[in-house]
Amino acid sequence: MLPHWTKNDIVLGDGRFHYVRTGDGDKPPLVLLHGFSDNGLCWLPVARDLEAHYDIILPDARGHGLSARVRPGEPIDGAADVAGLIAALGLRRPVVGGHSMGGRAAAELGARFPTLVSALILEDPAWGDPPSIDEPLPDNPLRAWLDEIGALSVPELVALGRARNPTWPEIEWPAWAESKLQVDRNIQTIGTNRKPWRDYVAALAVPTLLLTADPTRGAIVTPAMAEEAASLTDVLQVAAVADAGHNIRRENYPAYMRAVRAFLDQLR
């Protein structure tokens, strides 16, 4: 977190949510939603590079970071949580971006609360027919991932991350490692009642950028899925990023930022 940024908590319904903010409302708002097991500060490089033109809000999702914990068996509605945050902070139709779990929440937000957002940026969203791919149910590999990292220290997590992702820039590691120790393990018990991703995409009515990558390197959204998504609504454009997998911005940051900046320029 940069020295001039601020951090705060806000109560939404039955939970307290933590967020970091780069500005004070004097620029257009941009809300960035992190992926599973990350936290808001995992957007540090992007927020740092865009803060000159945007007031960027980086919330921790429920069960992540310093936000509300999860009751066993409690369903999580990420889109509703973000809608509450936008309303509580008085944000005027922000652009909302998200990665993985956050990308899915952003798409659902745009479909269910269309008057709250002006545009969407979806980085390899965790799309799939229920149950969703990022839900750590008993047969989901993310449950094993949580078990593996649960006993590690921050330095051990950084070492593990570097070994598995040697191309990631060093700026990623502090927040990434810290976020892994903040995940509420009760998130392993959550259920799902979500619609298929196609239902949300078909309902989108604001400009939307879908960033995709290479499925052989771990990307979730395949070329066929991207083509289908584009056929469901005329507001969606697809940017395929080469030499990257699921963590697009961490694996090919220059190409990711070129696509994001070009899209944001279209909105001005």
Separation in Å, CA 43 to CA 35, 191, 220, 250: 10, 27, 20, 10
Find tokens 């889109």 and name the residue: 79
Tell me the pTM.
Answer: 0.94
Q: What is the pLDDT of residue 187?
A: 81
Separation in Å, CA 210 to CA 125, 237, 248: 8, 6, 11
Query: Does 3 have pLDDT greater than 70?
Result: yes
pLDDT tens-digit series, residues 15-51: 999 999 999 999 999 999 999 999 999 999 999 999 9
Q: How far apart are the first and last CA of the chain?
A: 27
Q: What is the pLDDT of residue 145?
A: 76
Query: Does 191 have pLDDT greater than 60?
Result: no
Name the CATH superfamily, with its identifier, for domain 6-133+191-267.
Alpha/Beta hydrolase fold, catalytic domain (3.40.50.1820)
Query: Does 151 have pLDDT greater than 50?
Result: yes
Chain centroid, CA 230 distance in Å:
20
Q: 23, 31 in Cβ contact below 8 A?
A: no
Q: What is the pLDDT of residue 138?
A: 47
